[in-house]
A and B are shown apart, each in its own frame.
Chain A
Amino acid sequence: MAGIEALAIPRLKIRYFDWKEAFFLGLVRLCALIPLCALLYIMSKIVHLGAGAISWEFLTQAPVEGMTKGGIFPCIFGTLAITVLMIFLALPLGIGAAIYLVEYAGGGFVFRVIRAAVNNLAGIPSIIFGLFGVGFFVLFVGRNIDAVLRTGLLFGQPCMLWAAATLAALVLPVIIVATEEALNAVPHSHRAASLALGATKWQTIRDVVLPQARGGILTGAILAISRGAGETAPILFTGCAYFLPRLPVVNLFGVIPMINPLDQFMELSYHIFIMATQSTNAEVTLPIQYGTTLVLIALTFLLNLTAIIFRTYFRKKLGQVSLQ
């Protein structure tokens, strides 16, 4: 289209109105409006219905009276705790895999196999990850750790650690793809310059490539957190609790409080699911359901928005670097 204009041919003035043309192009425009409208409608509806439930008490208190009143603080805490644990497990693995793909694998057979595996991993249904979490992490790894350490039934039951590990497997492709993009955006000349100065390959990656790719990797991490915070199916059977009277916190050496990865936990998305489908009194808890949904959607929306803004900013910055 731009090519035509560049040719400087005087534009033909079409005197008649082309109904067919207008109809189909209008249809295409309409199609583009639908996702926008859907997003706006869902967001506005949930904000409208959920805003009434949000209060300081709602965000900072535990559920009371059989979960018909009170707040959702344990769910917020559980969501934050499990995403922290998940990102600790997934980020090193994902960044390492991306570095290997971009800097070491070099387009051969191994590269193609890993590439296909990453793409496939991204397409595996989330409920399959749930089954995998139960079959592998809880019943195989957990039970075997118990058998070796003679800890009874400590690791071999659903808990936050296994839920986080399952989620980490799920978000791995998100991190790998984002990191890959960030690494590929670093100009090749920078690597060449570093190698020419006598730096080894790993020194080049560590001191030249990774610092420049920091922004892109951060974006990937945020996207992964947002994805992990919203997923429900993988954690249904690997550690989520319907109700927990305590926070999953343990005192390390009896003093330092830390997240207890061997405890079960409450989680925002799971809370929405059970309150909407398995609550004893769905009518009474309606404000809680809308409020929880609003909190979750606000959380993921803000994370995604941050990631988008970050990426735009870092892409611009990298664009300037490669122009210099």
Chain B
Amino acid sequence: MDKASLSNDCAKVSQNAPGRASDSSGEQVSRIKHALTRKESSFSERFVEKILWFAGVSSVLIIALIFIFLFKEAVLFFKTGHPFHLVGLWQYDDWEGKNVFKMMWQSVSEVPKYSLLPLLCGSFLVALPATLISSVIGIGCAVYLSEIASPKVREILKPTLELLAGIPSVVIGFFMLMVAASLIQNVLHTKFRLNAFVGALGVSLVILPIVITITEDALRAVPKELRDASYALGATKWQTIWETVLPAAVSGISAAVILGFGRALGETMIVVMATGNAALVTGNIFSSVRTMTATIAAELGAVAHHSEHYYALFLVGAVLFGLTFILNIISELILNRMRQSLRM
């Protein structure tokens, strides 16, 4: 459509313009038309666009495939397993001499138990403290970067954060396992050397850069006029930050915290190395726990394909994927709304 109108315009121009005497105007028009609608060129253009379109939707395709292949295997668990077994199992206990309700993840015992509760418990017991720690530090750091730091300090601190984000999680896991765990046990005298708190500290290091980056973006998006107005009313710097800037950026900050929480739930290598891997239903942060991610990482390697255990692990993965997906979508929606309201 564009090309047709363009060629019409060109034709008008060429008719009005004093053409060379030897060229009849009809010939000129056809030449211009020919140049504008070169068949081979427009074909390759469209071909390239198709290829680029495919590359563009590839990420949508990958998410769809992850979704399909995760849930396809996960629902097969219910072919043999009962949905109620995901909560717990009544089983005769030799010690107590009666039937007790067991909420356990014991995938390789005589009667395999696939209760998701200890795993969910473990995941949240690591992810919540980690998010709390990195939110407090991360928001403070972002406030410093956006409100206080001079450009020079920023130029040093920002790359430092990127380098921190670039440390492989297996290295942080190894560091927590070898160095930090003993240190923390000596200071806090915990019963277990490897516990949820050690894992949470490691995970908070991983999500700290994410929280800082998004919070800083949110703070920078607060209009300068608000700060100026606050200063003009006689507020000090801290009063301006606390009463004006932070409330104005609260939606962006909450998005950062939610995103950080999602990452904390999904962190694998640190928790598999540093949380002790005991699947317990507990609220004690200094007890050994086992997260969903650690369970998959530790057990999928030694499981027969297409067994009940295999499907159970995919089910754990599907639950984890669902949780993080919802958290990602929420933070995405909040950030989108924030961007839109700022544009207005």
Does B associate with A? yes
Q: Is A39 an interface residue (CB 8 A)?
A: yes
Interchain CB contact (< 8 A) of A28 among B49, B55, B148, B297: B148
Tell which of A185-193, A250-258, A297-305 binds the partner.
A297-305
Report whether A233 and B168 are in contact in the complex, using a CB–CB cutoff of 8 Å.
no
Report whether A123 and B324 are in contact in the complex, using a CB–CB cutoff of 8 Å.
yes
Interface residues of A (CB under 8 A from B): 1, 3-4, 18, 20-21, 24-25, 27-32, 34-36, 38-39, 42, 45-46, 49, 92-97, 99-101, 103-105, 110, 113-114, 116-121, 123-132, 134-136, 139-140, 169, 172-173, 176, 200-202, 223, 226-227, 229-233, 236-237, 269, 272-273, 276-277, 289-290, 293, 296-297, 300-301, 303-305, 308
Cβ contacts under 8 Å, A104 to chain B: 49, 52-53, 56
Report whether A114 and B163 are in contact in the complex, using a CB–CB cutoff of 8 Å.
no
Report whether B166 and A97 are in contact in the complex, using a CB–CB cutoff of 8 Å.
no
Cβ contacts under 8 Å, A136 to chain B: 65-66, 69
Q: Is B259 an interface residue (CB 8 A)?
A: yes
Interchain CB contact (< 8 A) of B268 among A1, A127, A173: A127
Interface residues of B (CB under 8 A from A): 41, 44-45, 48-49, 51-60, 62-63, 65-66, 69-70, 72-73, 136-141, 143-145, 147-149, 157, 159-164, 166-175, 177-179, 205, 208-209, 212, 224, 227-228, 231-232, 236-239, 241-242, 259, 262-263, 265-269, 272-273, 293, 296-297, 300-301, 305, 313-314, 317, 320-321, 324-325, 327-329, 332
Cβ contacts under 8 Å, B137 to chain A: 31, 34-35
Once A96-B55, A132-B65 are accepted as A-B contacts, the answer to whether A305 and B163 lie under 8 Å apart by CB is: yes
Measured CB to CB, the nearest residue on chain B to A309 is B159
Report whether A24 and B293 are in contact in the complex, using a CB–CB cutoff of 8 Å.
no
Interface of B is mostly: helix
Interchain CB contact (< 8 A) of A135 among B60, B69, B231: B69
Report whether A93 and B55 are in contact in the complex, using a CB–CB cutoff of 8 Å.
yes
Once A25-B238, A135-B69 are accepted as A-B contacts, the answer to whether A308 and B169 lie under 8 Å apart by CB is: no
Report whether B144 and A28 are in contact in the complex, using a CB–CB cutoff of 8 Å.
yes
A95 to B51, CA, bound (A): 11
